């Protein structure tokens, strides 16, 4: 195990976030606060309660997920795309380092950043709404799993993208809609039955549902199913990255 390599990659990636502190950490806080003002106060005052939870509190897990997913993908995809773009990737590719070590460095750093952002949002939210976390351990588990799997997903996008446009494409065209339609701001049970069925094909629904359960013990689907979906997604991402490195996909061909 080349632990020095993991360490220097991780450190370099974390430094990058530190140097752009405002962008890395302040912007998610700001946008979350805005969501609270708009959805929590303005609209939420008319909705009152969803499944026995005040609307302002109800949207907290969804908001966190929205930020986690976008941040994980953005951080991890950029982290590997940028050296590809400058050409500096040659060094990582010529180093005595396995795909697992590369992932631990790059994806580990991206996931750490999103995790921190998730916590910051949680703290921010606590200033707006009363928060009670029913299952803190599960909450953290979902948080960690989400950060890791979507950072991995972002890493794949970063490996795949060969220009900036493609780098933006998936987050914009796939992730944002999936999160918005994934029950961040409503309960799936509020939808007409036909749409409820459609929604079940959206993996983000399971993520948000499980995460919300850890807060309020209310969920759209069972927790076990949520957890399985997250784990399957994680495994699929890992397999994809493994395959990409094995075949040298877009890197060594």
Partner 1 sequence: MSQSSQTIVSISDLSKTYANGYQALKHVSLDIQRGEILALLGPNGAGKTTLISIICGIVNASSGTVTVGGHDIVSAYRITRGMIGLVPQELTLGAFDTVWNTLSFSRGLFGKKPNPAYIEALLKDLSLWDKKNSVLMALSGGMKRRVLIGKALSHEPTVLFLDEPTAGVDVELRKDMWALVRRLRESGVTIILTTHYIEEAEAIADRVGVINHGELLLVDDKLALMHKLGKRQMIIELETPLSAVPAELVAWGLELSEDGKELVYTYDPHKSNTGVNGLLQVINTAGLPVKDLRTTQTSLEEIFVSLVNKRS
User: Among the candidate windows 31-39, 73-81, 89-97, 121-129, which touches partner 1 by CB under 8 A?
Assistant: 89-97
Q: Is 165 in the site for partner 1 (CB under 8 A)?
A: no
Q: Nearer to partner 1 by C-beta: 9 or 157?
A: 9
* Token digits of residue 30: 């700001």
User: Among the candidate windows 69-77, 84-92, 112-120, 183-191, which touches partner 1 by CB under 8 A?
Assistant: 84-92
The H or E element spanning position 58 is helix 55-86
- Reference 78, options 120, 32, 116, 109; nearest CA is 109
- Beta-carbon contacts of residue 90 (< 8 Å; ≥ 6 apart): none
Q: Nearer to partner 1 by C-beta: 164 or 195?
A: 164
The correct pick among 8, 42, 134, 169 for binding partner 1 (CB under 8 A) is: 8
Q: Is 52 in the site for partner 1 (CB under 8 A)?
A: no
Q: Is 16 in the site for partner 1 (CB under 8 A)?
A: yes
CB atoms within 10 A of CB 154: 33
State the nearest-atom distance from the C-beta of 18 to partner 1, in Å. 11
The correct pick among 96, 130, 192, 193 for binding partner 1 (CB under 8 A) is: 96
Q: Is 217 in the site for partner 1 (CB under 8 A)?
A: no
Q: Nearer to partner 1 by C-beta: 160 or 180?
A: 160
State the nearest-atom distance from the C-beta of 86 to partner 1, in Å. 6
The correct pick among 26, 30, 34, 90 for binding partner 1 (CB under 8 A) is: 90
- Reference 72, options 138, 20, 17; nearest CA is 17
**Do residues 27 and 21 make contact, with C-beta atoms less than 8 angstroms apart?**
no
Residues 22, 64: Cα–Cα separation, whole Å = 18
Q: Is 21 in the site for partner 1 (CB under 8 A)?
A: no
| Residues in a beta bridge with 50 | 53
- Helices 99-128 and 136-160 sit at what angle, rounded to 10 degrees? 130
CA distances to 59, 133, 167, 195 from 51, in Å: 12, 16, 38, 19
- The residue whose two tokens read 């050296």 is 83
Q: Is 92 in the site for partner 1 (CB under 8 A)?
A: yes
Q: Nearer to partner 1 by C-beta: 105 or 210?
A: 105
- Beta-carbon contacts of residue 1 (< 8 Å; ≥ 6 apart): 101
Q: Is 87 in the site for partner 1 (CB under 8 A)?
A: yes
Could you tell me how many residues of this chain bind partner 1 (CB under 8 A)?
A: 26
How many helical (H) and strand (E) elements, i.e. helices and strands, does the chain have?
13, 2
Q: Is 242 in the site for partner 1 (CB under 8 A)?
A: no
Give the interface with partner 1 as residue ranges (CB under 8 A): 2, 4-5, 7-9, 12, 16, 19, 82-83, 86-88, 90-98, 248, 252-253
């Amino acid at each position: 195990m080349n632990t020095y390599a993991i360490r220097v990659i991780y450190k370099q990636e974390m430094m990058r976030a530190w140097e752009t502190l405002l962008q890395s950490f302040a912007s998610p806080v700001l946008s979350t606060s805005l969501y609270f003002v708009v959805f929590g106060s303005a609209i939420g005052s008319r909705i009152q309660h969803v499944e026995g939870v005040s609307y302002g509190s109800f949207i907290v897990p969804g908001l966190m997920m929205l930020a986690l997913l976008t941040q994980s993908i953005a951080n991890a995809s950029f982290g590997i795309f940028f050296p590809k773009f400058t050409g500096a990737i040659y060094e990582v590719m010529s180093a005595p380092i396995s795909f697992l070590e590369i992932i631990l460095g790059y994806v580990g750093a991206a996931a750490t950043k999103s995790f921190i952002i998730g916590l910051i949002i949680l703290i921010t939210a606590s200033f707006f709404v009363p928060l009670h976390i029913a299952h803190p351990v599960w909450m953290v588990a979902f948080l960690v799993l989400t950060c890791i799997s979507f950072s991995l997903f972002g890493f794949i996008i970063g490996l795949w993208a060969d220009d900036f446009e493609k780098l933006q494409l998936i987050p914009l065209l796939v992730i944002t809609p999936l999160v918005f339609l994934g029950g961040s701001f409503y309960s799936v049970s509020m939808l007409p039955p036909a749409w409820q069925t459609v929604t079940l094909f959206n993996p983000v629904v399971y993520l948000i549902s499980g995460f919300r359960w850890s807060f309020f013990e209310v969920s759209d689907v069972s927790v076990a199913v949520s957890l399985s979906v997250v784990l399957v997604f994680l495994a699929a991402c890992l397999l994809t990255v493994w395959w990409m490195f094995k075949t040298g996909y877009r890197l060594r061909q």
